[in-house]
Structure 1
Amino acid sequence: MLIDNAHWLNLAVALGIGLLIGAERERSKADGGDRTIAGVRTFTIASLLGAVSTSVNFWLLVVSIICVTVFVATAYFTRRDEDPGLTTEISLVFTVILGGLAMTTASMAASLAVAAAILLAAKEPIHGFVRGVVTKDEMIDFLILAAATLIVLPLVPNALVGPFDAINPRNLWLIVILVMFIGALGHLALRLLGSRTGLPLVGLVSGFISSIATIGAMGARVRKTPDLIGTAVAGATLSSLSTVLQLVMLLAAIHPPTLHALKVPLLFGGLTIALYGLVITLNSFNHQSQELSKPSRSFSVKTALTLALVIAVVLIASAALKAWFGQAGLVVASAVAGLADVHASTISAASLAASNKITAANAAVPILVAFSANALSKVITAAVTGGKVFFQQVTLGLVLQVSAIWLGWWLF
């Protein structure tokens, strides 16, 4: 058998894999004060065993893996009362496989070895995070999100269906996943930042879930504790910045040309509300924020599904009005839907543009109309929940934002 320089390099990678994983296991054995079945020498030899077996014959590698598996199984059952864990045993078998992989795909084998070593070394932080930080509800939410993404999404058809061919089931389900994912990000930010860092940060994070709901919550907080007027207004204002950022994310995912058509108006509106919110926040720093209750769930599946249903209805209505009355019908439908939720109108207009039913420029105006109608709902919410001063300050920010958005559209 001819052995070239590349072959020696692959053997060196296999040697490094065994040394890396073996060194971590040796260190773990020393820290734990126990005697596991394998240390740095055993892991190094196991990796080289896989490499040499692969060089000779593939079936020899299979036999080697089986022999090592029988060995670690026997060792485990003889000392299972002393050490009930299987981490070292599984790692040893995995090291044999990585040694064999190093002879054909050295870069992948090395990357997997580093990842395995990191997982092994991070035992305490990972266990502490899962057992002490993540709640049962959060774990359930993570599993729901994973199932929605990895199991359900591949099964959803990717084709236009329904009246006027207005609905793509796959796109609708992607929206459900996106809403749940954004909710999970907001929940994680609340967990990491804590509500005592101030209502402005909480408002910015919560705005990704629902800006109208955030303004209502801030208004209720002011009714209960009038001294929090400054921080509550800041939180309510910054939730509208989250609305702009969320629209950018949605348009980037659904139809980038529509985002390109709206980049200047969204930039104007985002910067305006950000500056206004920054001024309000700086003025509110002298007020001590009270602790806010944190949601126990990362997101609401019901909310995500309801939004998808609303979007489906808006898609059909928009397509019908567009077919019957042209562009004016689409604008009217977007304005009505925007009173409840700007995202549904944005997604429907962008989806129509993505399916080439309208142009990106024609999709921009309905989105801006829906944004303006949604701002009106926020104003009404502020008036009902927070009182006169809260209403005036929040309304001023919203008026400035909507004016800046339409100014950006008119100029560019």
Structure 2
Amino acid sequence: MAMLTDFSGEWLIYRDLAIALATGLLIGVERGWTMRGERKGARVAGIRTFGLIAGLGGLVALIAQSLNLIMAAILLAGIVIMLGFSHAKTIHEPDGRSITNFVVSLLTLCLGLLAGSGYPALAMAGAAITTGLLSMRSELHGFLGKLGSTDINVMIRFALIALAVLPFLPNRDFGPYDAFNLQQLWFVVILVTGLSFAGYVANRLFGESHGTVVTAVIGGAYSSTAVTASLAQRLRGEDSNRRTLSAGIALASAVMYVRVLLLTFILARFAFVPLAMILTPAALVAAVIGLLQLRRSGAAKTDKSVETRNPVRLLPAFFFALTVAAMSLAARWAEAEFGTSGIAYLVLIMGSFDVDAAIITLGALPPETILSNLAGFVLAMTVLANMLFKAGVAGFTAGWKNGRSAVAALVASSIVLAIAGLVSFVALDIHF
């Protein structure tokens, strides 16, 4: 039994060293292929060198664990100095490749150390990610070339919202009725803002090169109302492209239904099934009408994309957090004073102005505070209010002559939504 244990321990050592070598070889393949056209002697490191660097890292980690920590530190320092000298002669090359190779060499050494220390899976994952990033040099540089000042501001602001605030907020209930938990509150702000940020990024990557319909569908993921207003404004001045623009409005609303269901599933899952039963028919109607209008238009895209504003702004994010906090407090007060009916009426009224805030408010309530059927019905009615508002925006902005197709699509979906809500209200015997 002792011999079997020893053999198993040796096998793990061999495995870790082999994986350390493999991480270097993987990175070395990409580096060697990238620099295959360099003149002889210009390449500082290739596939063999990177493999050996990672292998050395694995051996240093083994020495540190089994022999002498000071000796391992001396060896590690010697390797780093050797790498620095080997790259120093090309440090001033215009393309900066030597800098990249030096950094990658240090990273490869670290991955070898990681594998030799007993974390082979993490080392291989790191090598795969590193290789992927290195191989995407042209794509990443091309992406950076497309960025404008607005895009940089969006990324910085989302980083501030997601990373600079959340860690410093307390994770405990406090305030009247224990209605406030700042960390949970800000987390849902990050979630909602993150959906908007993801839609904005997708729009910048794919939408602008594919025209109206694609940007409308992507834009529906973060603001179908903004998409409706933008396309309706164009409808007023265009005669030849009305069906495509109307299709974009309908499809953006269909995506909005999906967004609402996704947020409900994440934040207020108890209301998801009854809400899905009401929203799904309306979403299908919006999608079918949009696709039919698109088909009749004879074009799947146009040369002009949808104007979309910056979806990640700090003041609206703080205002949204305050709105959700006020709704949470009001919901707890309504429950204490009027019971379930008070919560339902409050969410219905306030949710008509902000569906996301209504979803978050319901999700923050204690379990079994409100029946799932009633919660789903109330959320569906807030969506109906939003749809009717968008129909009004489309009709008022585009005018009846140019905007009637878009208004008809939104009204048709709203009628189906109202009928589904009424059927659910009667069939499920919902009471306020």
Q: How does 1:151-300 map to 2 (within 5 A)?
A: 151-195=164-208, 197=210, 199-285=212-298, 289=302, 291-292=304-305, 294-295=307-308, 297=310, 299-300=312-313
Following TM superposition, by how much is the alpha carbon of 1:224 offset from its aligned partner in structure 2, in angstroms? 1.6
| 7, 30, 36: which one aligns with 2:36 | 30
Q: 1:68, 1:93 within 8 Å by CA — same for their partners in 2?
A: no
Residue 51 (structure 1) aligned with residue 58 (structure 2): yes
Q: Which residue identity is paired with 1:307? A: F
Q: How many residue pairs were aligned?
A: 410
Distance 1:348 1:192 in 2: 33
| 84, 99, 120: which one aligns with 1:106 | 120
Following TM superposition, by how much is the alpha carbon of 1:101 offset from its aligned partner in structure 2, in angstroms? 2.8
| 117, 142, 150: which one aligns with 2:131 | 117
Q: Which residue identity is paired with 1:358? A: I
TM-score (normalizing by structure 1)? 0.87
Q: 1:138, 1:296 within 8 Å by CA — same for their partners in 2?
A: no
| 415, 423, 426: which one aligns with 1:399 | 415
TM-score (normalizing by structure 2)? 0.83
Distance 2:29 2:380 in 1: 59
Relative to structure 1, is the Cα distance of residues 116 and 408 closer, same or farther in structure 2, using a 3 angstrom cutoff? same
Relative to structure 1, is the Cα distance of residues 189 and 62 closer, same or farther in structure 2, using a 3 angstrom cutoff? same
Q: Which residue identity is paired with 1:403? A: I
Q: Which residue identity is paired with 1:17? A: T
Determine helix, strand or coil for the equivalent of 1:80: coil
Identify the residue that residue 347 of structure 1 maps to in structure 2.
360
Q: 1:265, 1:406 within 8 Å by CA — same for their partners in 2?
A: no
RMSD: 3.0
Distance 1:152 1:403 in 2: 43
Q: 1:61, 1:100 within 8 Å by CA — same for their partners in 2?
A: no
In structure 1, the gaps of 5 or more residues are none
Following TM superposition, by how much is the alpha carbon of 1:259 offset from its aligned partner in structure 2, in angstroms? 1.4
Q: How does 1:332-411 map to 2 (within 5 A)?
A: 332-352=345-365, 354=366, 356-388=368-400, 389-390=404-405, 391-408=407-424, 410-411=426-427
Distance 2:245 2:187 in 1: 33
Relative to structure 1, is the Cα distance of residues 234 and 147 closer, same or farther in structure 2, using a 3 angstrom cutoff? same
Q: Which residue identity is paired with 1:140? A: N
Following TM superposition, by how much is the alpha carbon of 1:356 offset from its aligned partner in structure 2, in angstroms? 4.8
Distance 2:300 2:165 in 1: 47
Q: 1:19, 1:44 within 8 Å by CA — same for their partners in 2?
A: yes
Residue 128 (structure 1) aligned with residue 134 (structure 2): no
Q: Which residue identity is paired with 2:380? A: L
Q: 1:331, 1:369 within 8 Å by CA — same for their partners in 2?
A: no
Determine helix, strand or coil for the equivalent of 2:369: coil
Identity %: 25
Identify the residue that residue 64 of structure 1 maps to in structure 2.
75
Q: 1:322, 1:329 within 8 Å by CA — same for their partners in 2?
A: yes
Following TM superposition, by how much is the alpha carbon of 1:9 offset from its aligned partner in structure 2, in angstroms? 3.0
Relative to structure 1, is the Cα distance of residues 87 and 165 closer, same or farther in structure 2, using a 3 angstrom cutoff? same
Relative to structure 1, is the Cα distance of residues 337 and 292 closer, same or farther in structure 2, using a 3 angstrom cutoff? same
Distance 2:220 2:206 in 1: 15
State which drifts further: 78-87 or 139-148: 78-87
Deviations 1:252-304 (A, max 9, x none): 22122221342322323322322233233323336974513544745333333
Determine helix, strand or coil for the equivalent of 1:86: helix
Q: Which residue identity is paired with 2:48? A: R
Determine helix, strand or coil for the equivalent of 1:328: helix
State which drifts further: 250-259 or 102-111: 102-111
Q: Which residue identity is paired with 1:184? A: F
Relative to structure 1, is the Cα distance of residues 284 and 320 closer, same or farther in structure 2, using a 3 angstrom cutoff? farther
Q: 1:156, 1:170 within 8 Å by CA — same for their partners in 2?
A: yes
Following TM superposition, by how much is the alpha carbon of 1:385 offset from its aligned partner in structure 2, in angstroms? 1.8
| 34, 47, 56: which one aligns with 1:40 | 47
Relative to structure 1, is the Cα distance of residues 62 and 308 closer, same or farther in structure 2, using a 3 angstrom cutoff? same
Determine helix, strand or coil for the equivalent of 1:243: helix
Q: 1:65, 1:96 within 8 Å by CA — same for their partners in 2?
A: no
Distance 1:45 1:149 in 2: 40
Distance 1:225 1:241 in 2: 24
Q: Which residue identity is paired with 2:18? A: A
Distance 1:295 1:24 in 2: 38
Distance 1:295 1:379 in 2: 19
Distance 1:82 1:192 in 2: 32
Following TM superposition, by how much is the alpha carbon of 1:234 offset from its aligned partner in structure 2, in angstroms? 1.9
Identify the residue that residue 106 of structure 2 maps to in structure 1.
93
| 82, 86, 108: which one aligns with 1:75 | 86
Distance 1:196 1:341 in 2: 31
In structure 2, the gaps of 5 or more residues are 1-5
Deviations 1:173-202 (A, max 9, x none): 123222322222222332233357454433
Distance 2:390 2:333 in 1: 28
Q: 2:162, 2:190 within 8 Å by CA — same for their partners in 1?
A: yes
